[in-house]
A = this chain, B = another copy of it.
Amino acid sequence: MSWTGGASELAALEPVARGVLDRLGPTEVPQGAVLFRPGETVKGYVIVLTGHVGVSLLGPNGRDILLYEVAPGQSCIQSTLGLLGGDDYSAEAVATAPTRLVLVPRPVFLELLDTSPAFRKVVFAAFAERMQAMMQLIETMSFMRVEARLAALILERAGEDGVLAITQAEIARAIGTAREVVSRRLDKLAQTGAIRTGRGEIRVRDRTALEALAASPAV
């Protein structure tokens, strides 16, 4: 019943606010489920309990760009835009893993915002965080070459063992480019010995080289 006690920042909420939230039942969605699409009306404020959600912009030609990701305990700010301004979604959210989430209906959300300072804080913080992430995205997409973005992403997501399981298409969406470009760049990185590639997998061979590339002069 009391899911608010979990790993999320919501544990710091006032008892009253937690009570209100606890009365909402969590929902389970399978991997690949679409939480919302562009043009849909906002139904409520989404809090992810477990799993993982990706929010992306869809391009007309099938290409899409990952705006940000929602980890457990975080909320999908995209909803907030609609809840506050009444606009529809302009992005798409997909569960990239089996996900358990809570949907806070608009009235409850607004009420909590008015009555719970802690809840406000959580919402604001999430807002600020997303905004930073999007500014970061604009910055890297505008000023860093694909090679650098790619190296940075590999370093960021590689495990301790230097291995990461990811497909080229996923990489492309995450760094805002096209899959073909990723293919060619990965190829070059492999040629220089910085990495080794496999189907759906990348192994870091030369972390230093990657770090140099990631920090390399923007343009």
Contact = CB atoms under 8 A, between A and B. Distances in A.
B142 A81 contact: no
A32 interface: no
A96 interface: no
A12 interface: no
Interface in A85-135: 85, 87, 90-91, 113-114, 117, 120, 124-125, 127-132, 134-135
Interface stretch (A60-68, A159-167, A191-199): A60-68
Contacts of A136: 90
A35 interface: no
Which of A61, A128, A141: most chain B CB closer than 10 A? Answer: A128
B131 A219 contact: no
A132 B217 contact: no
Interface residues of A, number: 40
How many copies make up the complex? Answer: 2
A135 B57 contact: yes
A77 interface: yes
A156 interface: no
Interface in A125-174: 125, 127-132, 134-139, 141-143
5 contacts: A60-B217, A80-B128, A85-B128, A90-B135, A131-B131
* A-B residue pairs, 9 tightest by C-beta: A60-B218, A59-B143, A85-B128, A81-B128, A84-B128, A61-B219, A84-B124, A134-B134, A57-B139
Given A81-B128, A87-B132, A142-B176, 7 more contacts: A57-B142, A59-B218, A84-B124, A84-B127, A85-B125, A90-B135, A141-B142
Interface of A: 57, 59-61, 63, 65, 67, 77, 80-81, 84-85, 87, 90-91, 113-114, 117, 120, 124-125, 127-132, 134-139, 141-143, 176, 217-219
